[in-house]
A and B are shown apart, each in its own frame.
Chain A
């Protein structure tokens, strides 16, 4: 069997295409690569050159366009590599050597082209960087000045070879810190260096200059990255692509959650790495969790049980009322005709769009007056769990009513008629026949309401001022407010503790949420 036959058998090439010559494939790959380069350039220009000036008066849009431009330029080489590698991918299961050669050749050529562009435009690795125009090395005493560019910034400031830099203003620096500080400085920014010359302690102010030194050696890391990337693209199974894109987009979120979890179990963290007292990796501990249950965080004494129970009471009460009222109102709106039905529907929609914050003060007075009434005041007045739950129910209801109406609309009339004829009363039909069928909807709404109630901060904080009523989010805020310095690892532990019931809720509800009832009716009603 010849190589050509194998190619056809692999199913990757169609007969009419045929395996092209190596040169043809290279040209094809480069063509695709350059087209994508051009496309990304156009995109970058579109954001920075066309949209940006349009919004030149607003600062938010400007920043967004800036970020988009940078993203387009950052992604440009990788998009080009992907485009070029797509040609090589045809050969992966047939002729690995050829695929690799094709991919690496085209990515080297593309990289060369991009680098040439950077070189001409003083962009990327060739962009001018802040510098003090002297070469340094780390010694035990500090940073030693090894050489100075004649007439450069350091020379002007009268820094001499052999000086040992110890600090910038009053901050002690080592080589890494010095370079970090320098790279963040703008052109002409003054850096006041403390240094030792012989035994003498001195300080001089050096002004930062921008220098672009076009060393070709800067190109090597980029080339290596490009080649590795291309090889990965060539051999990556196609069906992984969506997952990789997804993980990439979700990375900030994943890292965030990872930090919360790691932080709760460590003394302190640098990034997401747990560290002990001596800045070594390790230092895992349960003290953050322990302090929640002991009831003492940085001197702030509390009992977590009533706080937890308050949160739970608000959430459960709210879920219960929201489900009951929404499903009944939804049923009535879906099934019955009564005057004002349309008005009610559109009005609730408007209410849903009403920001809760604007009603905070008026409702404050309403609750205050309600609280003065006997009996009712004790149930739903100011400073009561009932009052807080009631207000939050009101804000959740428009969504709930509409959601439930939608679910009831989808139940055929025949089902209800059938139950009525079977001998059920209207309420029993609603309760025994219709409600079980909208169980996924009830669960979804229930979870919304529960999470809403559980995480509620602004309403419980406002309507329970100065009382013992406090739920977890309010407590969390108190914790940040009342302790100084704030121990973020303990705050993270309280935050994670707050998330636990929601995790549990989701684990059990998942199955029901995904379960959609099938069958029982056919055709239209």
Chain B
């Protein structure tokens, strides 16, 4: 089912939930809505589900405008962060509930529920009640309940937030696998950018009720179109520093205080053409500690992550986060030289917060 959202605005009184959102989702696509708390992603999802009515704009499922269609007539399945299982029903009754409401014959209900339960690996739990299940099992039941009525659209509202880290990893894989197999158009709301990056075909990054970017994960990572996207996508987040970029003799240089960084022509020219200070962004993996580095700083903090160390290096008033091998045994207070891979540097207009490179 293709979903087309055009100029969607949802207000609660004077409070704006979502503003002027336009988004086209292809049939069978897995789209993630990514953004911090209160950015409007769940509001959008509930508007799609029909729980909220849009204030303005159009929502189309295929060719059908569904603005005023009741949730029950939209044929969607939804999985909630809180699972929202019905505690007074058994697992079987929980999963069978959508079928019961569709007036599916008892026999068919029984077959379909068992089939879905087996796919979800909860076949033996059908006689229990939600309270007797672990969080992971409950989440599978919730997923099974959403899938059993063979929905046109699957909606996920931060479904993994309440699970422990290890379980989250497995469920992540399972959901993605299931979605690809069934080919159901899915929308997945999350504030965890790792979830969004790993699962989604395309990610809609939202902030303060507005769509910041809608692109494939790699695109978002390599060519962020706004300062917000650059800062939100990627973990640890991108380093930002205010620089003046000047061009002389065909050579571009980004300068801030004592830091002088030569930039290639391709990336250096657009910011050099900008009058005034720009924001430069550089990802932690693009900075390395090397003897031939041209920026000298002092290690302020070392945070071991296991596979590598997260190191905070202070250069004058500026702070850079970077990743280093644990073998190097860096210590706080150590003086190091940093090498910047300027072919990966990003430049943003400090006023509009838009990228100077990708527009």
Contact = CB atoms under 8 A, between A and B. Distances in A.
B88 A517 contact: yes
B84 A414 contact: yes
Contacts of B77: 421
Contacts of A415: 84, 86
A277 B33 CA distance: 89
A520 B130 contact: yes
Nearest to A520: B87
B145 to A, nearest CB: 7
A522 B161 CA distance: 10
Interface stretch (B24-32, B97-105, B270-278, B335-343): B97-105
B51 A522 contact: no
A428 interface: yes
Contacts of B101: 422-424, 428
A423 B131 contact: no
Given A519-B87, A519-B132, A523-B161, A422 B97 contact: yes
Given A519-B132, A521-B82, A420 B51 contact: yes
Interface in B61-92: 70-72, 74, 76-78, 80-88
B258 to A, nearest CB: 48
Interface in A497-518: 517-518
Nearest to A519: B131
Contacts of B135: 522
A518 B46 CA distance: 26
A418 interface: yes
B132 A414 contact: no
Contacts, number: 102
Contact of B51 (A417, A437, A439, A518): A417
Interface size class of A (residues with CB under 8 A): 20 to 34
Interface string A436-450: 110100000000000
Nearest to B49: A421
A525 B82 contact: yes
A412 interface: yes
- In this complex, the member of A415, A418, A523 whose beta carbon has the largest number of chain B beta carbons within 10 angstroms is A418
Contacts of A522: 81-83, 135, 138, 162
Interface string A354-389: 000000000000000000000000000000000000
Contacts of B290: none
A420 B77 CA distance: 10
Contacts of A519: 85, 87, 129-133, 138
A2 interface: no
B140 interface: no
Contacts of A418: 78, 80, 84, 86, 145
A421 B85 contact: no
A523 B101 CA distance: 27
A410 interface: no
A415 B101 CA distance: 16
A13 B5 CA distance: 76
B149 interface: yes
A296 interface: no
Contacts of A422: 72, 97-98, 101, 145, 149
Interface of A: 412, 414-415, 417-425, 428, 433, 436-437, 439, 517-525
12 contacts: A412-B84, A414-B157, A417-B78, A418-B145, A419-B97, A423-B102, A424-B97, A517-B87, A517-B88, A518-B131, A519-B131, A521-B85
Given A412-B82, A418-B84, 9 more contacts: A414-B80, A414-B81, A415-B86, A418-B78, A425-B72, A437-B88, A521-B82, A522-B138, A523-B82
